[in-house]
Chains A and B, each alone.
Chain A
Amino acid sequence: MSFIRKPLNRRSILRAGAMGGAALATPTIFTSRAWSAGYLNEPTGSEVVFGFNVPQTGAYADEGADELRAYQLAVKHINGEGDGGMLNTFSSKALQGGVNGKKVTYVTGDTQTKSDAARASAKRMIEKDGAIMITGGSSSGVAIAVQSLCQEAGVIFMAGLTHSNDTTGKDKRKNGFRHFFNTEMSGAALAPVLKNAFGTDRTAYHLTADYTWGWSQEGSIKKYTEGMGWKTAAAVRTPLGAGDFSQYITPVLNSGADVLVLNHYGKDMVNSLTQAVQFGLRDKQVNGKDFAIVVPLYSRLMAQGAGENVKGIFGSTNWHWSLQDEGSKAFVKSFGQEYGFPPSQAAHTTYCQALLYADAAQRAGTFDPCGIAAALEGFEFDGLGNGPTLYRADDHQCFKDVLVVKGKENPSSQFDVLEVVEVTPRAQVEYPADLLGGELGACNNGA
């Protein structure tokens, strides 16, 4: 059986050549259209999809709920709806309703405060929902895992709550950006306040959550307190979600330590602080000094959980709703009118991250991750609370003023649990870009 039914001649060869050429050219036409912008999930219609990946279940669900509220408010403001919130005070005026002529929509995911669940949810939003960026997080373990996934996939990750040095240190990525502060900045801001309050002749006992954030915070606080003369009696690692910490707290009583540093967050901090107070540590005198408790990372939601036990206890925070700069006031007003209560620091940082991403895309004139990364690197801005801020190009860490807070003695409402005792200037918390190690690597646009 032969497929050549006619003898070959000049005309049939020309005809076959033309058809073959067209066939060969066809993929090039389609590919050139598909890759015209050359990046993953390029929005083609009138809308662009943001992916909000927050803990909707698990120990940080309340923080996640506040993050989501802030994201929804940010979308409203980016689309030119509502009162505009912090877009009115933001130093960049690029956003004027929508981004690059498109309306912002969003999909949400539940991280469950677990790295594997968070990665699965982010992957689903990128592959199925076509999310152009992922933002959110609830713990440093989750944020680092999702940041790594976004780098591999080729989208931008705008970190939410994550305080470990590693996020923009040894685990930093070119596609990942963090507005929240870190433990190095907490240590630098907190140490001078602790020195004024408790002096330089102190012995500290650390209880530390046994994962990346706990290790990072313990290291930073030890570094700065030992630097001013404090000694460290012991640093004990405690399992996450231990519940009852009494067996870890009782050895503090006769350790010779006169300060207890609780490197715990969320539910763990609420429980360990409550139990430390129950065991009389706050009323104790050691080495002729009043015993002190320090909670290096505070959040208003967490302080509410610990109730009266936070009174007089120092810690640091990224932002607080009582700040009186125009940006903070605008955000509190906008959020308070929408939801009936003030925003938490989790809400503030995620709202800022959504605005900063949208603004960078508008300034870059594209949603190409590498174009947006370039627009965010070295970007200086003001009007989003915490004073003038820099998104440092070398490690994608924001540098801004850090707050030192104290549990309020006489709160006027259930939200008024912390008072700002010091606004530490940005210059005091800045550190060399190579201090925390890691390499940014190359940008990945998913092409």
Chain B
Amino acid sequence: MDVILLQLLNGLDKGGAYALIALGLTLIFGTLGVVNFAHGALFMLGAFCAVTFNALLSLELVTTDPEKTTAWGTPLEIRTPYVEAYLGDFGHWILNYSVPVSILLAIPVMLLIGFIMERGLIKHFYNRAHADQILVTFGLAIVLQEIVKSIFGANPIPQAAPETVRGAADIGAALGFDPGVIVYPYWRMVYLAFAGAIIAAVFAFLQFTTFGMVVRAGMADRHTVGLLGINIERRFTIVFAIAAVVAGLAGVMYTPILPPDYHMGMDFLVLSFVVVVVGGMGSLPGAVAAGFLLGILQSFASMNEVKAILPGIDQIIIYLVAVVILLVRPRGLLGRKGVMES
């Protein structure tokens, strides 16, 4: 029982990341009709917003100690971050909270990146075949990935969660299990809550604002919306930028869980596409539901007891589910009738 609860928690957490990326992908596909293979790169760029912000805050005041030398004969350098050197404890506090505070930096940066990407490239491919869109966005993802690698290197760059949420909670003890058998890191709980808040905010925005109503109408029938005299082009740009922000924020908050590296976007992208297909192309609730469902299934499939019966199942479970869903219900779990169906 305790193992099942643990894997359920793990699955929710992984599902949160899948759901956030799939949500943005679906938003773009549903409104713009674009298959965006650069969406994983937006997740990665969000994570590197946190890395950049932390690096800027960690800029160091360098002094040398002439009494001591390095092993290669140069004077030993003493390095103190400027914020700590000049702001003392408050500077330390800012550095400590660099990951959550990075959200403030990530929002405008991701909006700008989304705007430039849509206006500069994506809009030219609205009326092109999906194969063209996939090729160009995949190429863009590789370019962005290589730029990040050339600046930050290939090694993962760990980002610390704030000290107050660094440990793990003994959830099992509270539920009557032996102490220590079900523990869950505080930061993963923060991430889960954050993912829930972002998903709720996107749904509220689409449900309760005029802009959201137009976007939903556009998702149902964008040509008719265009005929009504609504500047659908401008709204498309905004939708793309919002999707970029969602992916970027998911990336920022994920950095203490998985040290960011230039390849992290690609690692998540393929799985997120499977999530979108399973949930139903263009269905926002489908993307969220499938994200959590596949995260949990993947987590259970990696249990030793399951792998003892079905070796290697943890690596193929997601694709297996996708195959079954596509065979039985081509439109996906919550997809609109007619989408992906002949």
Binding site for B on A (CB under 8 A): 57-62, 234, 236, 239, 241, 243-244, 246-248, 250-251, 253-254, 267, 270-271, 274-275, 278-280, 283-286, 301-302, 304-309, 321-322, 329, 332-337, 342, 413
Contact = CB atoms under 8 A, between A and B. Distances in A.
Given A59-B154, A247-B299, A241 B267 contact: yes
A236 B158 CA distance: 25
A337 B167 contact: no
B291 to A, nearest CB: 14
B30 to A, nearest CB: 27
Contact of A251 (B185, B258, B263, B304): B304
Report the 3 A-B pairs with minimum CB-CB distance, sorted nearest first: A336-B72, A61-B154, A280-B168
B182 A321 contact: no
B71 A321 contact: yes
Given A60-B154, A246-B10, 15 more contacts: A57-B149, A239-B315, A243-B258, A251-B6, A253-B181, A270-B158, A274-B158, A278-B257, A279-B183, A279-B185, A284-B180, A306-B158, A333-B71, A334-B72, A335-B72
Interface string B256-269: 11110101100110
A270 B255 CA distance: 13
Contacts of A302: 155
Interface of B: 2-3, 6-7, 10-11, 13-14, 70-74, 77, 79, 149, 153-158, 160, 167-168, 180-185, 187-188, 256-259, 261, 263-264, 267-268, 298-299, 302-304, 307, 314-315
B182 A253 contact: yes
B167 A283 contact: yes
A335 B258 CA distance: 32
B270 to A, nearest CB: 12
Contact of A278 (B155, B157, B180, B185): B185
Contacts of B261: 267
Contact of B258 (A244, A280, A283, A334): A244
A142 to B, nearest CB: 16
7 contacts: A57-B149, A246-B14, A247-B302, A280-B183, A333-B73, A336-B73, A336-B74
Contact of B7 (A243, A250, A283, A337): A250
Given A236-B304, A337-B73, A254 B2 contact: yes
Nearest to B184: A279
A104 B326 CA distance: 59
Contacts of B304: 234, 236, 251
Contacts, number: 127
Contacts of A270: 155-156, 158, 259
Given A267-B261, A305-B259, A308-B160, A251 B182 contact: no
Contacts of B184: 279
- Report whether over half of chain A's contact residues are helix, strand or loop; otherwise say mixed: helix
Given A267-B155, A271-B156, A248 B302 contact: yes
Contacts of B155: 62, 267, 270, 301-302, 304-305
Contacts of A285: 180
A233 to B, nearest CB: 10
A139 B77 CA distance: 34
Contacts of A308: 160
B187 A244 contact: no
Contacts of A275: 257-258
B180 A253 contact: yes
A251 B2 CA distance: 10
B153 A61 contact: yes
Contacts of B72: 332-337, 342
A385 to B, nearest CB: 13
A224 to B, nearest CB: 24
A270 B261 CA distance: 11
A139 to B, nearest CB: 14
Nearest to B178: A254
Contacts of A301: 155
A64 to B, nearest CB: 8
Given A61-B153, A251-B3, A308-B160, A274 B259 contact: yes
B315 A250 contact: no
A341 B80 CA distance: 18
A197 B263 CA distance: 37
Nearest to A64: B154
Contacts of B307: 236
B186 to A, nearest CB: 9
Nearest to A250: B6
Contacts of B11: 247
B185 A305 contact: no
A305 B181 contact: no
A271 B256 CA distance: 10
Contacts of A413: 77, 79
Contact of B71 (A248, A304, A336): A336
A400 B211 CA distance: 70
Nearest to A246: B10
Nearest to A270: B156
B153 A244 contact: no
Contacts of B298: 247
A270 B79 CA distance: 25
A286 B181 CA distance: 10
A271 B258 contact: yes
Contacts of A283: 167-168
Contacts of A286: 180
B166 to A, nearest CB: 8
Nearest to B262: A61
A60 to B, nearest CB: 8
A280 B6 contact: no
B13 to A, nearest CB: 7
A21 to B, nearest CB: 63
A190 B55 CA distance: 36
* Residue among B7, B72, B157, B167 with max Cβ neighbours from chain A (10 Å): B72
Contacts of A59: 154, 263
Nearest to A59: B154
A435 B71 CA distance: 39
A325 to B, nearest CB: 13
Contact of B257 (A244, A306, A337): A244
Nearest to A266: B155
Contacts of A329: 71
A445 to B, nearest CB: 37
